[in-house]
Structure 1
Amino acid sequence: MSKTPIWKAIAEGLRGDIARHHYKAGDKLPTEAELAARYGVNRHTVRRALKDLAEAGMVHARRGAGVFVALAPTDYPIGRRVRFHQNLRNAGRAPAKDILHLTTRLADAEECEALDLPEGAMVHAYEGLSLADAQPIALFRSVFPAARLEGLCEVIRETRSVTAALEACGVRDYTRASTRLNAVGATAVQALHLRLREGAPLLRTQSINIDAEGTPVEYGHTWFCGDRVTLTVGEL
């Protein structure tokens, strides 16, 4: 007769604690040492149980701080006006962005078509990680026409805000012209950044933003964590 692995029993016990609200969203779980003492096992067994919960999206680790119960999914409106910081604050979350890569380079054929640029045009490329209450919720890559938006990279480095950067370059307002959405599995690199298991479900959006005259100013891709964000369709 097969026995349930101890780590799996510990994971189920912690799932029950979370379901009964002994630990609420955002709460810190006991340390590995405390859980090991509670269940009478070594820390390696506890670590395996916590990894199982993390892969299921129920908890996440913060380096140097501990393991925390995952927050409820964040509502994120997708409509004509999409503003990351505003959306997160409206949902009661603290927004933040980490810059992963920011450079000016030659546009590829797809980017030239999306931004209505000639072959050989240069673009500013911004890749980063979006966070809500210090928890990663999405990866993104946005490109902007470099010739028109000189100095955009410097403002992004300073503010982490696309809206502020566009405004500094003379684009006082912009709206979403198109959005395409599909489901994909997380690659190994995406999983590492988002603290997910490889292959976990992501919601990918592909979008084009335009200025008041209808000229494309941003072509973006975003990969949202499927269990941390609820995309809602706003004004189209």
Structure 2
Amino acid sequence: MTRKNPVWLSIAQTLKDEIREGLYPAGTKLPTEAQLSARFGVNRHTVRHALASLNEDGITVSQRGSGVFVASNPPADYQLGARVRFHQNIAATGRAPSRQVIRIETRPAKAEERDALGVDMVHVVEGISSGDALPICHFISALPAQRFADLPQIMEAERSISKTLERLGVTDYTRHSTRITATIAKGPRAGMLKVSEGSPLLRTEAINVDRDGAPIEYGLSWFVGDRVALTVANDGH
């Protein structure tokens, strides 16, 4: 007598096949437990078992309060060189780059921003950078408010720091220094990056300068550890 596979295993295999066929691309949120229960005609406990199996196999990641998301593609190579541009780096890996700006504000500089930029007031730009719609990096950039008085209005239109700086007369700038440390995702940042709390992140602290060597940007970035491989480029600068 042939023994039947558990129902949850069949559900898990069906979802795996659909993910591999591209019906649920990387970063996509799967249907809710209630929706899957209705689809397969089973109770939520059975669906929960199937989803736990996908998570254990690394096919999905669970975000408390947000749902279950399809895991990312192999890590994208991201070069940290003198001229680092997110869109160029991600596009070079074959992914479609995008950026969501979630905050633009002007405020007094924090101690580390004041030390890096030598100013008392800064414009702050915060957002999420993605590849193929999957969050890769949470960033916060501080720029001198007095030098770039019109930055907030231009940034609202351009949604790009590089394009905004170009309109403000900075046609080229380079990376002066980068410090990389390891940390973990927690709180709102985990939700913004669509990862579970405790997931590994790579934190970078960088200072960009203009052609005259004047600091124009102090940036903090948190990269999802399994979605990007940071490479330090030896470009002679």
CA RMSD of aligned residues (A): 3.3
Q: Secondary structure at the match of 1:202?
A: strand
User: Residue 57 and residue 184 in structure 1: after superposition, are their counterparts in 2 closer, same or farther (change >3 A)?
Assistant: farther
Q: What TM-score do the two structures reach when normalised by structure 1?
A: 0.79
User: Residue 159 and residue 36 in structure 1: after superposition, are their counterparts in 2 closer, same or farther (change >3 A)?
Assistant: same
Match of 1:232 in 2: 231
Unpaired stretches in structure 2, ≥5 consecutive residues: 1-5, 63-67
Residue 61 of structure 2 contacts residue 196 of structure 2 at CA under 8 Å; is this kept in 1? no
Write out per-residue CA displacement over residues 141-200 of structure 1, whole angstroms, 9 at most, x where no aligned residue.
Answer: 000001111211222222221110111111110000000001101121111111111111
Q: How far apart are the structure 1 equivalents of 2:57 and 2:130?
A: 19
Residue 144 of structure 1 contacts residue 217 of structure 1 at CA under 8 Å; is this kept in 2? yes
Displacement after TM superposition at 1:99 (Å): 1.6
The percent of aligned pairs where both chains have the same amino acid is 45
User: Any residues of structure 2 matched to 1:48-63 within 5 Å, and which?
Assistant: 49-50=50-51, 53=54, 58-59=59-60
Aligned residues: 220
User: Any residues of structure 2 matched to 1:150-169 within 5 Å, and which?
Assistant: 150-169=149-168
Match of 1:3 in 2: none
Match of 2:116 in 1: 114
The residue type equivalent to 1:50 in the other structure is: L
User: Residue 218 and residue 200 in structure 1: after superposition, are their counterparts in 2 closer, same or farther (change >3 A)?
Assistant: same
Write out per-residue CA displacement over residues 8-48 of structure 1, whole angstroms, 9 at most, x where no aligned residue.
Answer: 86797579x47xxx743854288568965897732454256
Match of 2:3 in 1: none
Range with greater deviation from structure 2 (149-158 or 44-53): 44-53
User: Residue 217 and residue 25 in structure 1: after superposition, are their counterparts in 2 closer, same or farther (change >3 A)?
Assistant: farther
Match of 1:89 in 2: 91
Q: Secondary structure at the match of 1:183?
A: strand
Q: What TM-score do the two structures reach when normalised by structure 2?
A: 0.79
Q: How far apart are the structure 1 equivalents of 2:213 and 2:61?
A: 41
Write out per-residue CA displacement over residues 36-67 of structure 1, whole angstroms, 9 at most, x where no aligned residue.
Answer: 58977324542564367469863369xxxx95
Unpaired stretches in structure 1, ≥5 consecutive residues: 1-5
The residue type equivalent to 2:179 in the other structure is: R
Q: Secondary structure at the match of 2:190?
A: helix
The residue type equivalent to 2:20 in the other structure is: K
Match of 2:133 in 1: 134
1:100 aligns with 2:102: yes
Q: How far apart are the structure 2 equivalents of 1:92 and 1:141?
A: 25
Match of 2:146 in 1: 147
Q: Secondary structure at the match of 2:203?
A: strand
Q: Secondary structure at the match of 1:91?
A: coil
The residue type equivalent to 1:174 in the other structure is: Y
